[in-house]
Structure 1
Amino acid sequence: MPRICLYPKDVATLTGRSYDAAKRLLRRARQAAGKPQGALVTVQDFCAYTGLDTVEVSAALNRK
């Protein structure tokens, strides 16, 4: 089953940022999507905020 939610470790791997910077980026993406604190951030939310391609991020996230 493909993953659709992102966690700080995923963002750190995708962007090459540190774990703490990835947490901040994920927090800003959550706020931009209008989600409450603690809500999960989807690939679509993250890509809309960062401008990254949804297909590429999904492929990188679901690669094994």
Structure 2
Amino acid sequence: MKSNRVCIFPKDVQRITGRSERYGRLLLHQIRKHLDKQPHQFITVDEFAEFTGINIETVKDFLKNN
């Protein structure tokens, strides 16, 4: 049984956007800064979708398929 992930990682951002993994790290850093999170805290799928403007169902479907 495959579970649905809650957190987004730089490699996920790379696959979703088609940009580099370095860009993924930068984007997650910007999201943490925007949400006033600590560096050790994770970014959720919901937070990522809201910040980027990508439909949450699109992000969830993409994570299921990869």
Q: Shared fold (TM-score greater than 0.5)? A: yes
Deviation at 1:38, TM superposition (A): 1.6
Unaligned runs of 5+ in 2: none
Distance 2:59 2:20 in 1: 18
Alignment TM-score, normalising by the size of structure 2: 0.88
Match of 2:47 in 1: 45
Partners of 2:54 and 2:36 lie apart in 1 by 19
How much is the aligned-residue C-alpha RMSD, in angstroms? 1.1
The separation in 2 between residues aligned to 1:48 and 1:18, in whole angstroms, is: 21
Structure 1's consecutive aligned runs of 4 or more residues displaced over 3 angstroms after TM superposition are none
Percent identical residues: 33
Instruction: Determine the structure 2 residue equivalent to 1:35.
Output: 37
Which one has a bigger Cα radius of gyration?
2
CA contact (8 A) 1:4 1:58 kept: no
For residues 46 and 64 of structure 2, the distance between their equivalents in structure 1, rounded to whole angstroms, comes to 14
Displacement of 1:33 after TM fit? 2.0
Where in structure 1 are there 5+ consecutive unaligned residues? none
Q: Any conservation in 2 of the 1:9–1:19 contact (CA below 8 Å)?
A: yes
